[in-house]
């Protein structure tokens, strides 16, 4: 069967699709990317930026003549609807957990006729995740980790971030939030964080720099172990807040480093 029957001109409205295409050596099919794309760095230099997370340059996308546009999350429903009205094939993924990220890789690569490459990539990530899990099982204890993805209001970790924290050897400060997909269901009060008394606070304030001093100044946070022992860290949002290759590789490595350092100090 001719591979030309599969999409040859792909626009990725979020970074994970772009990173997957580069990881499987199919970046020549990529004709447009999100302006929030940082990985791999060459994508930012080589490909036209045609969208943000919530907006798109519709005329520019149409002019690129894509035969497939892919995006992520219900928040891109309006962009998807407008492109569909203009006759474009659109596929929006809604992956939230690690298993769903791996499924997304399989679905996306299958959609473009590269299932074998997708399965190879998935196998690589599964081996890494299993290795990290095995190493974490040898840790003397599991420190309590609070992951903050926004500060005003405080919003705690997304499902895949919680998965990664547990794989890396951390204990979730708020395990009851683990399967709450919507950000509005993961809003917390200062008092709730103080009560859970995490040993580690990790900030990844979606698109802006994490400021540990600001966290330390919150009323009552002087009683939190992480503040008392100065275990406040940042993981850049492009490494962990996009549910794709970055989170499964560099994002996970950062979590492991933070948790191991805290245990040893």
Mapping DSSP to helix (H, G, I), strand (E, B) and coil, where does residue 150 land?
Answer: strand
Enter the pTM of the model: 0.92
pLDDT in tens, 78-118: 999 999 999 999 999 999 999 999 999 999 999 999 999 99
| Residue 50 phi, psi dihedral angles, 5° rounding | -120, 5
- The owner of tokens 């979606």 is 206
- Mean pLDDT, range 228-244, rounded to an integer: 95
Q: How far apart are CA 113 and CA 182, in angstroms?
A: 32
Q: How far apart are CA 13 and CA 50, in angstroms?
A: 8
% of the chain exceeding 70 in pLDDT: 99
Q: How far apart are CA 136 and CA 69, in angstroms?
A: 38
pLDDT (0 to 100) of residue 85: 97
pLDDT in tens, 118-156: 999 999 999 999 999 999 999 999 999 999 999 999 999
Helices and strands (H, E) in the chain, number of each type: 13, 11
Torsion angle defined by CA atoms of residues 176, 178, 182 and 185, in that order, rounded to the nearest 10 degrees: 20
Contact of 40 with 19, CB cutoff 8 Å: yes
Which band of pLDDT confidence, cut at 50, 70 and 90, is reported for residue 1? very low
pLDDT (0 to 100) of residue 3: 58
Least confident range from 70-74, 182-186, 250-254: namely 182-186
The alpha-helical segments, DSSP class H, found in the chain are: 15-23, 41-46, 58-63, 77-85, 98-111, 115-136, 159-168, 190-196, 212-216, 225-228, 237-240, 245-246, 252-264
């Amino acid at each position: 069967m001719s591979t030309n029957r599969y999409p040859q001109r792909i626009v990725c409205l979020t970074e994970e699709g772009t990173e997957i295409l580069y990881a499987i050596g199919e970046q020549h099919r990529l004709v447009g990317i999100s302006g929030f794309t940082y990985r791999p760095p060459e994508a930012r230099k080589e490909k036209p930026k045609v969208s943000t997370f919530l907006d798109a340059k519709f005329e520019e996308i149409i002019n690129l003549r894509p035969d497939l546009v892919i995006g992520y999350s219900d928040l891109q429903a309006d962009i998807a609807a407008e492109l569909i009205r203009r006759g474009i094939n659109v596929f929006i993924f809604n992956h939230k957990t690690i298993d769903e990220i791996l499924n997304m890789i399989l679905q996306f690569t299958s959609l473009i006729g590269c299932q074998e490459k997708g399965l190879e990539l998935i196998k690589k990530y599964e081996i890494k995740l299993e290795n990290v899990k095995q190493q974490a099982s040898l840790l003397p204890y599991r420190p309590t980790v609070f992951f903050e993805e926004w500060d005003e209001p405080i919003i705690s970790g997304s499902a895949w971030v919680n998965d990664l924290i547990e794989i890396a050897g951390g204990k979730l400060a708020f395990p009851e939030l683990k399967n709450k997909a919507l950000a509005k269901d993961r809003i917390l009060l200062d008092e709730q964080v103080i009560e859970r008394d995490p040993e580690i606070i990790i900030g990844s304030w979606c698109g802006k720099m994490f400021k540990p001093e600001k966290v330390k100044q919150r009323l009552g946070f002087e009683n939190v172990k992480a503040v008392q022992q100065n275990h406040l860290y940042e993981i850049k949002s492009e490494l962990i807040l996009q549910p794709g290759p970055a989170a499964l590789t560099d994002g996970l490595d950062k979590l492991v480093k933070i948790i191991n350092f805290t245990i040893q100090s």
